[in-house]
Chain A
Amino acid sequence: MYKLLQRQIFKTLKITLQGILLQSIFVSLLIANDSNAQRQRSIEEIYINVNFENATLKQVLNEISSKSKLNFSYERSNIPLKNRITAQADNESVANILRDISKSANVKFKRVNGNIFVATLKSENISIEEEFLQDVDVSGKIVDETGQGLPGASIVIKDTSVGTTTDLDGNFAFSVPEDAILVVSFVGYKSQEITLNGRSKIDVALEVDAETLSEVVVIGYGTQKKSDLTSSISQVSGSDIERSPVSNVAMALQGRATGVEMLNDGTPGKAPNIRIRGVGTLNNSEPLIVLDGVMISADVLSKISPYEIQSVEVLKDAASGAIYGTRAANGVVLITSKSGKYNQKTTTRFNVATGVNQLIKKYPVANGEEIFMLKRERYTMDGIPIVYPWTDEYFNKTRTDWQDEMFRTASFHDYNLQIGGGNDNSTFHASVNYRNEEGTALNTWYKRLGINLKSTQKVSKRFSTEENIRLSWSKDRLYNEGDGTSVTMYPAYKYPPSLPVKFDASNVRPGQEIGGWGSGKESDEFGDMWNPVYKALEEWNYTTDLNALINLKGIYKVNDNLSIVGTGSYTHSVGSYERFKNVTPLQSRSESSPNLEEGTSVNSLMLGELYASYQKSSNGHNISATAGTSTQLVRGSYMDMTGIGFASTLESQLVMNNADVVNGRAGENDTQGLLSYYLRGTYNFENKYYVSATMRADGSSIFAEGKKWGYFPAVSAGWRISNEAFMSGSPVISNMKLNVGYGELGNQNVTAFQYLNIYRKDRRYLINGNPVTGSRLGSFANPDITWETAKTLNILLETSFLDDKLVLNVAYFDKKTSGMLVSPVRNFTAGNETAIPQQNSGEMSNKGFELELSYGNQKGDFGYNVGMNATFLKNKLLALSDGIPYLESGVSRTYVGEPIASFYGWKTAGIYQNQSEIDNDSNISEDPRKGSITPGDVIFVDTNGDKLINDKDRVNIGDGNPTALLGFYADFSYKGFNLSLLFSGALGQELYDEMMMRGINAPETDGTDKVMLERWTGEGSTNKWPRMSTTEFNQNYRYSELGLKSGNYVRMKDVSFSYRLPTAFLDKLKLGQSKVFISGRNLLTFTSFDGTDVEETGRSNLSRGVIYNNYPTSKTITLGLDISF
């Protein structure tokens, strides 16, 4: 916002300067010549009368101009305009008159078409030149980087003062010689030279000139010139974000912001989990998200359209984050939404985009015949008789491809309308966005409506106000995924293909109905699975969210150096859900009764801030300081109801009142209060030496007396080496700056009141025929609990080369989280329900490098900007807690000395091919299971040498943490065309394909994956996948290297191609800058991973990299139109 504001001021200034000052002071006549009549006649042949005595040169030239219809151009300061001369001629040629003047005024003339350029005569003899060029009419439009027309931009023929300026919409038209080179310029933007090459239509998009404009970065309670930063902040502009055809702003950051990782799945409308510079804690590791100064939740984040964004700043280190103290340990994401501009003509921008989502690829499962064969083989391998249902040929057939039934090409529509403008004293910006998105999974969808109003007023010379009201509504329909296997997504992959979607006369099963849903109920060999199409169509899970955010701000400028800002904001969000599960008597295990669940939660956040900012520069000393206080209260309440038993299950009859029995619960969340004081000071000397210090004190209600207050200091310093004498004037290096910062941040994102014994009244039982609610000890107490502290060292070297065309930034960070809150070991002798309070006992380290490299240039009409970023990460758990050896979640184990969520399992060494291999395997010579192991079983490795395979042989077999995150981008523009590419990727991550491992577990009912076709069938058949069997003595499917796959990938995240519509065409339609675009997301992936999707690595920190049946990610193609008027 500030950046734009500043630019707007420049623009306004420029218009004024251009229109009045520049033209009258520096250039006498910068107007289009219309002297067509005279332009092809030589001045030797144009005869006029003049009669001046002792007149100024200017008077004479004006007279000649008016009579000859030729224009004079001159630099006022160079020409002795006030010299008195005499010029008297009667029907004399202009040429001769000028020759006379030349002598008396010591000037020379060069006539080109309708213009006569005047210059001082030096040693030349030639006082008059004349040249005729073929003139062509040129018109076009000059726009800024956002596509807005730039009023007052100048277009000048190179090496002349001939040119014109654009009108209020950025349009221009004039005649120029056919070989002219046009120079387009505007204050704050890089000038461009345009060669006509026969064109008459020229549209130019100017790029911001970082040097002249001094890009501004939002830093929390203020802004700072980017060049003054001494900390690591990634900035992503709104125009970049707009290039991603995604439903929310967070998704567009992937690959663009260095050090930022997104964990996501394909659920429509869902915001990804954000990890900044790795996983810093075992607890909530989501960054603090601040929208226009107000803390918001990830829920609200998912409601923000990419089109609403001015910029996103990611504060990655302690020096930048310390101003947010106890909530900044996971980084801070600052989002600035678009605002209106002072003195801006009201502009309306309308985007419409529509597109399709599709599965990236299908998951390989065996077909009906293959499964029938595999299932039967289990028995023959074991030497026992085959039992029903695998004796029934009915099941030896493929009737359904469940993925084809469950996944579809889904469409979406996205509309954004923005109106903004302003006069001298106020601005406004209003936006409305609506998105309607189908999910790729059958019958799922997401809808969102957002309205945002922002305005600013200059109430008086010193006092101004800002107001923002943001409303958003969203609703989605997803699957009613219950506990255990009562789910929809899993059978979408693994439901028996021998079953039809619906039974017909040709395939109906005993006990089932014609027209009824296909069902595997007759045998538990078909698993605890429901027909997923039935689940998708007959049951539902709606979630509706309504969010309101009101933010008021007052700014009082005490003087030019000091201003005081007060803000008050209120956020209110209401979330509700409605879920329905029907009775399923003909499906698998049935629910007893139809079951309707409804609930509402209400949350509010009140925030008050008061801070003062001081800024002063003199004699090369630049100081600034910010000091303030903040108070925040978070409240919430909830209400949940379950209705059981409905006489009618028509959707219209499913209301709580119709339930046989209604159970309800409701309550209030604990109120959380935060009181803070903060102080930041920065100083720099001659833009060469920088130092910055921040201190925040946070008091939190969630900890005990004496543990409430925490203090978070940070210091950083910068040195612009390129401004030193020994570097200045370097032809190659245009900027070099070294920044070092260190500080402490906090994380208090844990359960409140863990310092108290808490009794909860939430357990029901039936006593004397009446349901009663019993109480229990809900949590034990830890009176010493307090927040986590993250100490971060950050070193950043910024360099630019070749006039800033090439930029290279390298950062090193070392973040150590100490006092990390760890849930101590639970001895189950203390039960499993009473919460055990966390202890500040853990330590975790995240170290890494960030690398950013970009190169951009403009060659005529062709402009390009290419870049890459890479983040190298190393996570290591340094301590947990006394007595806690590890934290475990399935195959993932988090333990000291290793990265978080390492895969902990058995090493494998192929398949036993024959009995003698088993008999002679020294790994298992003492193993009591030895007699039960058979050829075709997996060879597990006895890593501890005790001659048997047990839990002690589990070792770290890999982990799902990427060692490198990659991003590549390339933007190419040529005339109205723009092609933009964005790749993201990860290296060094391993994935544990739990989905596949379940699918090859032969004794289990869901052993149906395609990979089982490559199983062991006899000696020498394969050394990779085990045999079919009904037993699992050897636990072939235990956590082992069998499930391990490389998760390296590079994905073309976004590709976008746009075409700016020609101005002439738009003018006819009375439209401003407009473009059409087509873009794609996830269209190309380079990976060896063959499971569901390489990016579906789960959202949980403690089981990172385990592939399961999430909502699959999709690929997207979007067509859009972007119109301004």
Chain B
Amino acid sequence: MSTVWSCSSVLEQTPVGNRTDEAFWKSEADMQDAIAGAYSLLASRNLGMHDLFFDNQSDDHWRAGDHSEDEDIETGNSNTDNYKILRTYYDKYEMIGRANSIIINGPKVKDLGEISDATYNAIIGEAYFLRAWAYYRLLVIHGQVPIILEENVLANDYNVPKCDSPDQLRDLIISDVETAIPLLPITYEQGRANRGAAWALSCLIHLDHAEDYADAAHLNKVIEHGELVIANYPLAEDYESIFRLGNEVLPEFLFGMMNDPTWINGRFMTKHRGPRPWGMYSFQEPLTDLVNEFEEGDIRKGVTIISDGEFAQVGPDLLEHTSTLSQTGHSYYKYMSWRDDGEMISWTNVPILRVGQTYMNVAEAKIRLNGAGAGDTEINEIRDRADLDPISGGDIDALMHESRTEEAGENMRYQNLLRWHKAGIINLTTFFTIDKMYPTDFGRKVWNAPKNYYQPLPQADIDNGNGILIQNPAWVAGN
């Protein structure tokens, strides 16, 4: 029989349906495939849902749901092997890896002359942007993590120590964002990061970097890039439209998680909170403290939260929010909508970076640099859209109030609180009063600086690092 199949034909097989180094990185299509692969992580359970559970540390909502690892995060008592810590961590590195791959291999395609400069630049810009965004989320959650760049990939060296300080990570993120800004188009295809996204991310990272109350270098950068966002991307006229189906057409929508009804796994953010009997997963119930933050007449309240006695239009029916639906009497209503036949639309896109947030960033930077009233313009544009009267002489407290209502339920609150704590505006050690937590968490919730600035690194990677990766000392059991 060996004469029928010669040796070579039997033993010389090649992979079917998948490409090797020899066959990939040959064309524009390959680069488009690769960048789509990098974006696709946004639609994962880990980045599309679990990453949002870190805002459980804030005072906006309590965890609800039945997951003890959420309780640990919420009360400041994470175990190092908390699986949400691990999964959100490694999916960000997966995104970083795909971005690195494009940054390394993209030039090969360019050298072949198989891609136009404009397309090439945009994709490289997106790669830098996604890398920056992933590191930014790692920074917000962990403070210090290992930095994996092109040279690590080429040397196949992933077992590296964490960076020396959060600042080192911030500098990397700023560098990547600066690289991305000129490469990214002002307007781009829906679902792809445009230059506005890079500017907005720049605002966030510089704001995070400004640990002193009036850190001029970083706050000026926030204002510079924030004003470019404001100049180029108008606010949506209708606040609600940002959080309902079709939001991807809004210029305000800079960067987000794109959803699609054909995906099973891309639906988590829109489904994980909200009353269980209405078809959602009942995580994260707003606290009355957040509801009370909304001023009378603020249209954002009804968009963001539904409370006992209020009604939701579910298909043809009006459903009343009743007291058994949530422990707090409130449920989030952002990202929630139903089809006319009553089927829940769980494929609403979820904005991650949007212009409204940038207004708040710019206002904060101006107030911190130039004092009360400096941010009135930005605050009042936002208030105007919310159908609220303008303010004047708005101070940092007014900004914090406005920001809490504008960004409620958008996974921003805890990083804002932490920043304000570091800048000496509030003191988180005493901040969490009983009103700002779920009653049964009282006595359990702890917040100690600097330990609770950040979550621990995942134990699995500490273990796998075999001594190279060191846990944040505050999170080593016994410290």
Contacts and interface: CB of A to CB of B under 8 A. Distances in A.
B470 interface: no
Contacts of B477: 928, 948, 950-951
Interface stretch (B13-21, B175-183, B356-364, B391-399): B13-21
Interface stretch (A130-138, A824-832, A869-877): A824-832
A592 B344 contact: yes
B217 interface: no
Nearest to A826: B464
B1 to A, nearest CB: 2
A521 B281 CA distance: 10
A883 B468 CA distance: 10
Nearest to A928: B478
A768 B189 contact: yes
Contacts of B86: 828
B464 A948 contact: no
Contacts of A827: 146, 158-159, 461, 464-465, 469
Interface string A369-394: 00000000000001010011000000
Interface in B436-479: 439-440, 444, 458-461, 463-466, 469, 477-479
Report the contact-size class of chain A (Cβ under 8 Å from the partner): 35 or more
Contacts of B80: 951
A765 B460 CA distance: 29
Interface string A691-720: 000000001111000001000000000000
Contacts of A568: 1
A524 B66 contact: yes
B433 interface: no
Interface stretch (B27-35, B305-313, B402-410, B420-428): B27-35
A829 B13 contact: no
B156 interface: yes
Given A671-B16, A948-B477, A825 B94 contact: no
A895 to B, nearest CB: 11
A906 to B, nearest CB: 13
Given A668-B17, A759-B24, A774-B36, A384 B77 contact: no
A768 B191 contact: yes
Interface stretch (A333-341, A498-506, A1030-1038): A1030-1038
Given A767-B39, A767-B258, A1004-B68, A675 B34 contact: no
B191 to A, nearest CB: 5
B33 A832 contact: no
Contacts of A524: 64-66, 276, 282
Contacts, number: 267
Given A521-B276, A758-B20, A829 B10 contact: no
B304 interface: no
B38 interface: yes
Given A524-B64, A756-B21, A592 B277 contact: no
A665 to B, nearest CB: 10
Nearest to A379: B440
A951 B459 contact: yes
Nearest to B341: A647
Given A642-B264, A675-B2, A771-B262, A948 B39 contact: no
A831 B90 contact: yes
Nearest to A392: B324
Contacts of A438: none
A331 interface: no
A769 B16 contact: no
Interface string B52-71: 00000000000011101000
Contacts of A1030: 440
Interface in A380-412: 382, 384, 387-388
Interface in A920-948: 926-928, 946, 948
B379 interface: no
Nearest to A584: B279
A773 interface: yes
B10 A674 contact: yes
B20 A759 contact: yes
B114 to A, nearest CB: 16
B12 interface: yes
A828 B461 contact: yes
Interface string A638-654: 00001011000000000
A661 B159 CA distance: 43
B1 A631 contact: yes
A511 B277 contact: yes
Interface stretch (B96-104, B195-203, B234-242, B290-298): B96-104
Contact of B11 (A610, A700, A826): A700
Contact of B19 (A523, A631, A758, A831): A758
A753 B15 CA distance: 7
B192 interface: yes
Given A675-B2, A951-B477, A830 B148 contact: yes
Nearest to B262: A661
Given A524-B276, A670-B13, A768 B94 contact: no
Interface in A753-803: 753, 756-761, 763-769, 771-778, 780
Interface residues of B, number: 101
Given A522-B277, A522-B324, A885-B466, A699 B11 contact: yes
A1015 interface: no
B376 interface: no
A760 B18 contact: yes
B42 interface: yes
Contacts of B79: 1035
B343 interface: yes
Nearest to B189: A768
A828 B89 contact: yes
Contacts of A642: 264
Interface in A509-529: 510-511, 521-525, 527-528
Contacts of B34: 774-776
A928 B473 CA distance: 14
Given A631-B1, A674-B10, A826-B464, A831 B96 contact: yes
Given A521-B277, A768-B191, A830-B158, A761 B33 contact: yes
A760 B20 CA distance: 9
B1 A609 contact: yes
Given A765-B258, A928-B478, A831 B11 contact: no
B65 to A, nearest CB: 6
A833 B93 CA distance: 10
A886 to B, nearest CB: 8
Contacts of B36: 763-765, 767, 772-775
B271 interface: yes
B259 A777 contact: no
Nearest to B19: A759
Contacts of A761: 18, 33
A1098 interface: no
Given A767-B192, A769-B190, A948-B478, 9 more contacts: A588-B276, A629-B1, A632-B10, A761-B18, A765-B191, A767-B189, A883-B159, A951-B80, A1032-B68
14 contacts: A589-B276, A608-B1, A630-B1, A631-B10, A759-B20, A763-B40, A767-B39, A767-B191, A769-B190, A775-B30, A775-B34, A828-B86, A829-B152, A1003-B68
Listed from nearest, the 10 A-B pairs whose CB atoms lie closest are A608-B1, A774-B36, A831-B94, A774-B37, A673-B10, A950-B477, A763-B40, A775-B33, A828-B90, A766-B258
Interface of A: 382, 384, 387-388, 510-511, 521-525, 527-528, 566, 568, 585, 588-590, 592-593, 595, 608-610, 629-633, 642, 644-645, 660-661, 663, 667-675, 699-702, 708, 752-753, 756-761, 763-769, 771-778, 780, 825-834, 883, 885, 926-928, 946, 948, 950-951, 1003-1005, 1030-1033, 1035
Interface of B: 1-2, 4-5, 7, 9-21, 24, 30, 32-43, 64-66, 68, 77, 79-81, 86-87, 89-91, 93-98, 101, 145-146, 148, 152, 156, 158-160, 189-192, 248, 258-264, 267, 271, 276-277, 279-282, 324, 327, 343-344, 346, 349, 439-440, 444, 458-461, 463-466, 469, 477-479
